[in-house]
Amino acid sequence: MINPSFLFPAVLISLAVGSIASPVTGSKHSQPPAFFLAGDSTTAVQSTNGGGWGDGFLNTTLKHGATGKNFGHNGATTVSFRAGGDWDNVIQAAKASLPSYKPYVTIQFGHNDQKPDKNISMADLTANLITFVKEVRSIPATPVLVTSLSRRRFTNSSTPTVVENLADVVAATKDAAKQTGAYIIDLNAASTKYLNQIGPENAATYNLIPTDFTHLNAEGSVVFGNLVALLLDREVRALGKFVVPEKEIVKAIKTGTYYFPS
């Protein structure tokens, strides 16, 4: 089980925003990355009302002095994340990591932006993501857009498949990446593919609670956190030394075999 208050190997990021320790390994000429995760509850730490891939990624895949912090916020949209001060916290933490680290900011929104009561159009979502990308680059840091983690509801058919109800926000995120040239990892496609391969019964074992088919428990965080690491390594080759997904999980994902961390 992952401790939601995670500690980072070799280095600690203070819970006080803007404070980050210097790495104990590496040289000033080869800074390890520091990852700052911005997003909604499908990125956030495991809690009563949420839980995503963030902790699993930070706790199990970072090596050689790499570190990070999860700023994912339950219920967040691209609008509320800024209005509530979370985005400023991400920016300040990324700035404070310099020059000891090379900061990366992952940006995954959509689950809540999509809801009608939020009054956020898909054009608004794209525009908000583009602004995030520009602000990360001005730090300077590297933005990585992430399409939304798939929900785990399946069709009621002889061959159940994942209900793909995030197509609009995925398209909006891809549009932001196209317009800015930012790195993007398609977590939605990759998670949907894996869930379809393992089926609804196995997919449900990653639920935060039995009736929650959106948020991840600690074991699910590890599996999908490692999926994020695998996708990052493919997209951002410079991270290969520092982002190392667990071999057993990589094998399971590549072969479509169910995996549940012990």
Looking at residue 147, which CATH number applies to its domain?
A: 3.40.50.1110
User: Stretch 45-55: mean pLDDT, rounded?
Assistant: 95
Residue 25 lies in a domain: no
Range of the structural domain that residue 210 is part of: 33-255
* Selected residue with higher pLDDT from 134 and 18: 134
Predicted confidence at residue 155, as pLDDT, reads 97
pLDDT-derived band at 49, boundaries 50, 70, 90? confident
pLDDT-derived band at 14, boundaries 50, 70, 90? very low
Residue 13 lies in a domain: no
Which residue is it, tokens 């977590």? 187
Q: Which residues contact 104 (CB under 8 A, 6 or more apart)?
A: 33, 34, 35, 36, 141, 142, 143, 144, 236, 239
Q: pLDDT digits over 174-183, tens only?
A: 999 999 999 9
Residue 24 lies in a domain: no
Q: Express as a percent the part of the chain with pLDDT over 70.
A: 89
- The mean pLDDT value of the chain amounts to 91
User: Stretch 87-100: mean pLDDT, rounded?
Assistant: 98
pLDDT at 3 over 80: no
Expressed in percent and rounded to 5, the helix, strand and coil fractions of the chain are 40, 15, 45
**Angle between helical axes of 218-235 and 247-255 (0-180°, round to 10):** 80
Asked if 38 and 106 count as a contact pair (C-beta separation under 8 A), the reply is yes
Residue 4 lies in a domain: no
pLDDT at 13 over 70: no
Q: pLDDT digits over 120-149, tens only?
A: 999 999 999 999 999 999 999 999 999 999
Among 151, 154, 198, smallest CA distance to 170 is for 151
Residue 261 lies in a domain: no
Q: For the chain, first and last CA: distance in Å?
A: 8
The span from the CA of 218 to the CA of 55, in Å, is 8
Q: pLDDT digits over 191-227, tens only?
A: 999 999 999 999 999 999 999 999 999 999 999 999 9
- Number of folded domains in the chain? 1
pLDDT at 86 over 50: yes
pLDDT-derived band at 150, boundaries 50, 70, 90? very high
Residue 15 lies in a domain: no
Element (H, E) at 147: none
